[in-house]
Amino acid sequence: MDLQLEPWSESALALLRQINTPQMRRHVGGPETEKELLARHRRYLAMPETGRGRMFAVLVDGEAVGSIAYHRREWQGRAVYETGWNVLPAHQGRGIAAAAGAALVAVVREAARRPGAPTALHAFPSVDNAPSNALCGRLGFTLLGPCDFEYPAGSGTLMRSNDWRLDLTGPGA
């Protein structure tokens, strides 16, 4: 399997539309309207300019099969990086999320070396999302426990999530 993380581009809007289904978004509040989807796409395109993170399309053998990102946020009074991912249903169960996650962790470890950068990466999968919670464990994250997590940020909508943390300065850094 030839897996690559490709920086988000205009052409990734088609992938974002494939992800915007009831099945794919069941743990994060359901599908978004076209207006919300286009706003999300614009935010993803602008991420590199902000210096706060990066969104990637996950390519396997040249085909877009998912997405993965990291971005800086405040969590419990501290600056941290947050990550999240999607793999299209037809490609799930093949180790793609684990390979993309490992590749992303390497990218974020590099970002954490910059002065003033966060030194922890968090993931906040729904407590009901068994595959994503298992992936966090496989990637070396430590489960800190359940929490109420606002998603999307600034929406006021809370979801019951698990807080997983990876120290970016520890082994493998």
Q: What is the pLDDT of residue 27?
A: 67
Question: Which amino acid belongs to residue 164?
Answer: W
Average pLDDT of 63-88?
95
Q: Which two three-digit tokens encode residue 3? A: 């897996």
Confidence of residue 157 (pLDDT cuts 50, 70, 90): confident
Confidence of residue 22 (pLDDT cuts 50, 70, 90): confident
Q: What is the pLDDT of residue 51?
A: 84
Domain map (residue ranges) of the chain: 3-167
Q: What is the pLDDT of residue 121?
A: 98
**Superfamily (CATH H level) for 3-167:** Gcn5-related N-acetyltransferase (GNAT) (3.40.630.30)
Q: Which H helix or E strand runs over 110?
A: helix 96-111
Q: What is the pLDDT of residue 31?
A: 87
Average pLDDT of 38-54?
93
Distance CA 26, CA 129 (A): 9
| Number of Cβ atoms within 10 Å of the Cβ of 21 | 13
The pLDDT tens digits of the residues spanning 110-154 come to 999 999 999 999 999 999 999 999 999 999 999 999 999 887 777
Query: 51 in helix, strand or coil?
Result: coil
> Is residue 20 over pLDDT 80?
yes
Q: What is the pLDDT of residue 173?
A: 57
Q: Give the residue carrying structure tokens 């950068």.
A: 117
Question: Which amino acid belongs to residue 135?
Answer: L
> Is residue 76 over pLDDT 80?
yes
Confidence of residue 66 (pLDDT cuts 50, 70, 90): very high
Average pLDDT of 53-79?
96
Nearest to 125 by CA among 98, 164, 172: 164
Distance CA 161, CA 67 (A): 20
| Number of Cβ atoms within 10 Å of the Cβ of 144 | 12
Q: What is the pLDDT of residue 170?
A: 67
pTM of the model: 0.92
